[in-house]
Amino acid sequence: MNSNTRKMSLTALFMALSVVLLYIGSLFPTFSPSFGMLASLFTVAAVVESGVSYGVMCYVGASVLGLLLVPNKSSILMYITFMGYYPVIKSLIERLNKMALEWVIKLIFMNIVLTIDLLLSRFVFVADMNETVFDIIPVGYALMNVVFVMYDYAITGVAKVYIEKISKHRNGR
């Protein structure tokens, strides 16, 4: 099979699997963030197998299909606004090969996205948010930074396992 055909086929498979997980997550709203995180692991696989551009295709395709097919649109918003494309951003940042700088950039990036999400929630999606919600924002930011670090480590671990156990053996390396 042609290399580009193989890459496109794998990306389409990863995209479809992402949409399936996003759909399942929409059926269980309490767990939709978890399913969004799991769906983003297929973007990791697309990046590992085929490169950043295919990871972007996987994210964009899964986002568009998710918007069309997933019944609960709020469950896909976290995937679209952060989790779906973060593996691509992570792979680009980690090309710096300077761990301290990478973490600074990752945390700044995550907090910018979190702020944008909060502003969208406040002014676009839920304009009548209770003011007490904004009293706990510092705690929310602290917790999200902790969750983000765990998510980043999880992506790294999954990518390592994928490379060592799946990609390497399937490609005969």
Residue 145 maps to which CATH number?
A: 1.10.1760
Contact 62, 15 (CB under 8 A): yes
The Cα–Cα gap between 173 and 95 comes to 23
**To the nearest 10°, the Cα dihedral for 7, 98, 108, 155?**
40
Residue 66's domain comprises 3-170
Q: Nearest-CA neighbor of 82 among 114, 115, 127, 45?
A: 114
Q: Specify the number of domains making up the chain.
A: 1
Total-model pTM? 0.84
pLDDT tens for the 173 residues of the chain, in order: 688 999 999 999 999 999 999 999 999 888 888 898 999 999 999 999 999 999 999 999 999 999 999 998 877 888 998 899 999 999 999 999 999 999 999 999 999 998 888 787 766 666 555 555 556 678 888 999 999 999 999 999 999 998 888 876 665 55
Structure tokens belonging to residue 101: 């700088």
28-37 in b/e form (b: 16+ CB < 10 A) is eeeebbebbb
